[in-house]
Chain A
Amino acid sequence: MSNQKMTPALTHDQKLDLYYFMQLNRQLEDRLVRLFRQNKIVGGVYSSLGQEAVSVGTSYALEPRDWLAPMIRNIGALLVKGFKPRDIFTQHMAKFTSPTHGKDGTSHFGDLKVRHVVSPISMLGDLIPVMTGVAMAGRYLGQNIVAMTWIGDGGTSTGAFHEGLNLAAQQRAPFVLIVENNQWAYSTPVARQVPIKNLADRAAAYGIASKIVDGNNVVAVYETTKTAVDECRAGRGPILIEVKTMRMKGHAQHDPAEYVPKAMFDYWKAQDPIARYESYLTEHNLWDPKKKSEIDARIEHELDADQKFAEESPLPPAETAEQGVYCEGCHTIEAEWRRPKQDVMPPASSEVAVWKVADFGAFVKTQAVATQHGNRPGHAPRHEPVLSAEKKESISGDEVAGPTGKNQPATGDVAAQVPLRVPFGRGPKDRSVELERRDKVAERPPRHNKPPHKRRRR
């Protein structure tokens, strides 16, 4: 991490909090599995066993004003955001007392007003443009928020992933995307989905920063995310974080995951995020067995009460199926302005409607290899661009300076959008370029006014 210094250390209580949420996440899902076997769950149970550090560590880095949208395996993030186990129980059991009153299940619920949680849909990737919009709106309203969502390794192959991330990058949206690489898209391993080792490599193509972190180390996940959140809040987003972890169960309860090599399970079982964190807490004298059993007992107590509540809750009355398709005055829609409205009204908002194009898009010989990456955090060294002194001079002038204002949208000024890195471009020194040129010369018919042996060869 490049900005480790900036990350405020977790307090003792916060460290115990992380354990609490991870263990709550695990024990809650453990109970869901049992309820599933008792036929008390209406739909599926999508286990996040082994991925608790991702949900908890990332969402713990957000502030209450920030927004998130969970995926199916991010129940831990919902708990961190303040939802109760009863919400998860009732959702899975399709009860009338659930946040969606039985209209949707699993982690498909949210709360726009208080907890700032957007409800996900099953189609992967769609949350990325939506959360980009959340980030853009938050900036527009002056709220200084950060928006975050997750995408699995499988979801990175969708069109919505590309469209959303590109818009976020173009807009410099305060948006953190967690790529939760749990090695499996249903039954298909990562290597069968994408030809690259690290999904974080995708970030380079969008001109945004990326980080890779051990997803089974909750402190590392938290610290990396916290740095990214701070960077985004300071207007240097978006940022993509790839967390390497492992889905320790099948896609859902019906799937025994026999396609996963046993040795792979064994490897990752030894990396269990909660066991590792327990050792960490013990080694650093952050708790003792008494404290641990206190927390565990608290979790048991909460889960007992909430499970009981859910089991005793009624199913929704059938007639409610017809209700709520439209908002017919049930919601008051009002934006929360944290900046003067007149800033976005004429005359303050008025501007000259012309594009400024910095270098006319001209081909510059050094450009193909020389790139600028601006003030962007957290790049792994292999992402560092090759920047020749000559090129540096030519692009460091005022004309192509990046956006100066804090958290300003990348808008009409194309100049502000120029400094994108092209780490993998095909430069003039590339062998393929040389070979192509030779081929062309060889194909050219000899000129009639010169003898063939005088044909210019390179």
Chain B
Amino acid sequence: MPEITMLEAIRQALFEEMDRDPAVVAIGEDIGVYGGAFKATEGLLARFGHERVIDTPISETAIVGAACGMSYLGLRPVAEMQFIDFIACCFNQVTNFVAKSHYRCGAPVPMVLRGPSGGGVHGGPFHSANPEMYFVHTPGLKVVYPSTAYDAKGLLKSAIRDNNPVLFFEHKFLYRRIKEEVPAGDYTVPIGKAVVRRQGSDLTIVSYAAMAHVALEAAATLAKDGIEADVIDLRTLLPLDSETILASVKNTNRLLIVHEDTRTGGIAGEIAAIVCESAFEHLDAPIARVTALDTPVPYSPPLEERFLPNAEKVVAAARELAKY
């Protein structure tokens, strides 16, 4: 099996799905001739043509609206936000039109809205955001945020085949930094299922996307001190796989949640609430969290480093938790 980057995995998923099903079309800014700002759609136009790979004006609302309209006729559009930060421009279209469509009038919207997200690349306040929680708070959407090339490919395929609107976050720090072997044939990864990346019995670290790698790095350091962490990669934020989290917490009795999203209103709060509701008597320590600061994402490297969680911060919090 060849080793590929996460970016290549995403590209392969798009190619294979468009090859498999003519109802799959791609729409977005600069995705065709240019191949996308990060080249995730490179080569799509040459293979599938302008009818299926639609370069649009700079109009996020029109992109999402048109994709929604296409899906009403049975197409499965994959819309790209050039940077996921720009999803704020079409917030209404996503949260009011697309998300509520099935509930309020029984009209399913089988579309995918994907785009590069996350910090660590010095993109500044408008090219580094993790806006997933706006949408996790929106019933009707599914929110997927993979951390590996294998998952990215399998989850994107699942997202395209899903009958519901799926927001697919692609961490741009991971695009070219991680490589792994991905099977050549068709496979999918189910939406709504977390995965245990490392097994341990001393504490549970729940994370996703780039922070899943940080959590694993921290777990390796902790192991040298004899602290064994169960590391869970959520992969999907909505619907949240609380079963996997609860099973692990019931075993380790300690929970640390790590996310790159800002602290207040991040998924850590929701996970903590679920664990308190369903596994309170299993907890031996208060639930801890390591998150980004409650600020916009700053531009300058020392500021952004301060903003983001890293393995050191996670190790420090985990040690505190383990000795509580």
Contact = CB atoms under 8 A, between A and B. Distances in A.
Interface of A: 99-100, 103-104, 108-110, 112, 118-119, 121-123, 126, 128-138, 140-141, 143, 147, 159-160, 163-164, 166-167, 170-171, 324-327, 329, 331, 333-337, 341, 344-346, 349-355, 409, 411-412
A336 B74 contact: yes
Given A126-B92, A130-B68, A349-B52, A104 B104 contact: yes
8 contacts: A132-B62, A133-B71, A140-B75, A141-B75, A326-B102, A331-B108, A344-B51, A353-B35
A126 B50 CA distance: 25
Nearest to B92: A123
Given A134-B72, A137-B69, A326-B163, 5 more contacts: A129-B61, A344-B51, A345-B19, A350-B46, A353-B43
B52 A137 contact: no
Interface of B: 19, 22-23, 25, 32-33, 35, 43, 45-52, 54-57, 59-77, 92-93, 96-97, 100-108, 110, 139-140, 142, 163-164
B48 to A, nearest CB: 5
B139 A119 contact: no
Contacts of B104: 100, 103-104, 108, 119
Contact of A133 (B46, B55, B66, B101): B66
A129 B66 contact: yes
B156 to A, nearest CB: 18
A352 B53 CA distance: 13
Contact of B66 (A108, A132, A324, A345): A132
B69 A160 contact: no
Given A119-B107, A166-B57, A327-B164, A129 B93 contact: yes
Residue in B49, B56, B57, B63 whose Cβ sees the most chain A Cβ within 10 Å: B49
A393 B208 CA distance: 61
A137 B72 contact: yes
Contact of B65 (A119, A129, A143): A129
B105 A326 contact: no
Given A137-B72, A344-B22, A353-B45, A167 B93 contact: no
B69 A130 contact: yes
Nearest to B79: A133
B33 to A, nearest CB: 5
Contacts of B106: 100, 324, 331
A205 to B, nearest CB: 13
B62 A129 contact: yes
A420 to B, nearest CB: 13
Q: Which 6 A-B pairs have the closest CB atoms?
A: A133-B69, A129-B65, A335-B74, A411-B50, A133-B66, A163-B59
Contacts of A110: 105, 107
A245 to B, nearest CB: 26
A409 B50 contact: yes
Contacts of A325: 102-103, 139-140
A353 B108 CA distance: 33
A224 to B, nearest CB: 24
B261 to A, nearest CB: 23
B66 A136 contact: yes
A118 B163 CA distance: 17
A160 B140 contact: no
Residue in A147, A325, A355 whose Cβ sees the most chain B Cβ within 10 Å: A325
B100 A121 contact: yes
Contacts of A329: 163
B33 A126 contact: no
A206 to B, nearest CB: 11
A165 B225 CA distance: 62
Nearest to B105: A119
A455 B282 CA distance: 91
Contacts of A355: 33
B229 to A, nearest CB: 33
A126 B108 contact: no
B6 to A, nearest CB: 23
A134 B69 contact: yes
A126 B97 contact: yes
A335 B96 contact: no
Contact of A350 (B22, B47, B77): B47
B158 to A, nearest CB: 14
B74 to A, nearest CB: 3
A328 B304 CA distance: 41
A130 B48 contact: no
A345 B77 CA distance: 15
